[in-house]
Amino acid sequence: MMTNTKSYAQKLEATFPIKSMREAFYLPEGRIYFDGNSLGLMSKKAEQSLYDLKDSWKDYGIDGWMQGEYPWYFLAENIAQQMTQIVGANKEEIIVTGSTTTNLHQLVATFYQPQGKRTKILADELNFPTDIYAIKSQLALKGYDESHLVQVASRDGQTLYEQDIIDAMTDEIALIVLPAVLYRSGQILDMATLTTAAHERGIKIGFDLCHSVGAVPHHLHDWQVDFAFWCTYKHLNGGPGSSGALFVHKNHFGTIPGLAGWFGSNKEKQFAMSHTFEPAFEAGAFQLGTPNVLSMAPLIGALTLFNEMGIQRVRERSLALTDYMLQCVHDFLSEYQFTVCNPIDHQQRGGHIYLEHKEAARICKALKERGVIPDFRAPKGIRLAAVAMYNTFEEIYDCFTILQEIMETKAYEKYTNEREIVA
């Protein structure tokens, strides 16, 4: 007799010591939302801080730069301070600015300094495409072709072996850019080990935290990571297109940014309007143009919730939820040819699970029609993220019983096995 029942899921929720913060979020009525690793839901505090910043524009006009509860001139630094425990950094090492891609361009332009035979950038073949586009673009700007991009191969098409990455750290490598968590499989790379290995070989290394920040703890400062960059609209729940952020270790304070812009200036001299760029000493130097105040605004409230729960407790609850997801895969889907492609070990598993099935696109459409919001990844991937802050064990049970019914009745067959425009 199966013990995995709805009452069992309800008991898990009732007895788990770390509670969700569901009441703090706007939850889609009648739907189970498991796509927080693509776009997190809106919290009530994020909504309020957006209204607050909107009102500061209305009430103060130009004086909003220095007046109000959240003066815009220091907004990037003040929000960055809220991220210190999330990424394990000093407040001066973080700045909220740009987007994932613009920040990567800035950091590669700064830290990619080819000399002698060290002319190549090391990345991997499983990374999110925007990182590879940016790296190739930066190579071209320095006069190098794509042969100077070394991409570590995956042995199984889903994960990477740290030793394979370390073996590729040859004396031709000038810079390394890797994901902290692989966006498909959710594998966590051992950033501390990789950073130590890179530095032993005289190579600077940076990480894309887009799929790890807000889901797993980091210790960027202690690990001696040279730089990192991330978006804020996935696990951090900052809203669609919310401003990105970057980290530069204090060891590199005073480094001249590869790309200069007026908001990277020393703040005491920024409005002197000199044509000689005098950058800020800390991570603020890596800003470019005027901050997108209204795109930053929801982060004020959203990050408050993270600091209330604490990233360690977020991680504990997240692991329990994904453990239960994997149990449900075994209990409800074992007959239907699903393949679990995410790591099982807690040290390697991020904030979502990743399943593959030859009918994945059709299955995702059937799930959405029945009120479950998954994430499809071509050609046959299904990502499901149970977010610690607002998803529950009971929702997981309901999702997998719905999925079992879809497979049993072959309800997915009425759909085309093609992705929608936005997957």
- pLDDT by residue (tens digit) across 43-94? 999 999 999 999 999 999 999 999 999 999 999 999 999 999 999 999 999 9
- Is 100 among the annotated ligand-binding positions? yes
Report which of 100, 143, 81 is spatially closest to residue 283, judged by C-alpha positions: 81
Q: CA angle, 313 as apex, 307 and 315 as ends, to 5°?
A: 110
Is position 330 annotated in a ligand binding site?
Answer: no
User: What residues have CB less than 8 Å from 75, skipping those under 6 apart?
Assistant: 96, 291, 293, 296
Q: How far apart are CA 328 and CA 326, in angstroms?
A: 5
Assign domain 47-309 to its CATH architecture: 3-Layer(aba) Sandwich (3.40)
If we measure between CA atoms, which residue out of 85, 70, 53, 32 comes closest to residue 305? Answer: 85
Q: How does DSSP assign 108-173, residue by residue? A: HHHH---BTTB-EEEEETTS-HHHHHHHHHHHHHTT--GGGEEEEPPSSSS---HHHHHHT--TTE
Q: Looking at residue 418, what is its pLDDT? A: 81
262 is in an annotated binding site: yes
Name the one residue in this structure whose structure tokens are 């003066």: 71
Is 190 flagged in the annotation as binding?
A: no
Q: What pTM value is reported for the model?
A: 0.96
**Strand 120-124 relative to strand 173-179, pairing:** parallel
Q: Is 11 left (phi over 0), alpha (psi -120 to 50) or beta?
A: alpha
Helices (H) then strands (E): counts for the chain: 13, 13
Domain spans of the chain, in order of start:
6-30+311-414, 47-309
Q: Residue 402, Cα to own-chain centre: how many angstroms?
A: 28
Give the integer Cα–Cα distance in Å for 348 and 276: 47
pLDDT of residue 155: 97
Beta carbons of 188 and 348 less than 8 angstroms apart: yes
Tell me which fold the domain 6-30+311-414 belongs to.
Aspartate Aminotransferase, domain 1 (3.90.1150)
Residue 290 among known ligand-binding residues: yes
Angle between helices 293-309 and 44-60 (to 10 degrees): 140
Asked if residue 131 belongs to a known ligand binding site, the reply is: yes
**pLDDT score, position 128:** 95
Asked whether the beta carbons of 290 and 261 are under 8 A apart, the reply is no
Residue 40: how many CA atoms within 13 Å on its side-chain side?
A: 35
- Estimate the crossing angle of helix 311-333 against helix 393-409, to 10 degrees: 30
Task: Tell me the C-alpha distance between 14 and 7, whole Å.
Answer: 10
What does the pLDDT read at residue 2?
A: 73
Residues of the chain with pLDDT under 50: none
322 is in an annotated binding site: no
Buried b (16+ CB within 10 A) or exposed e, 317-331: bbbbbbbbbebbbeb
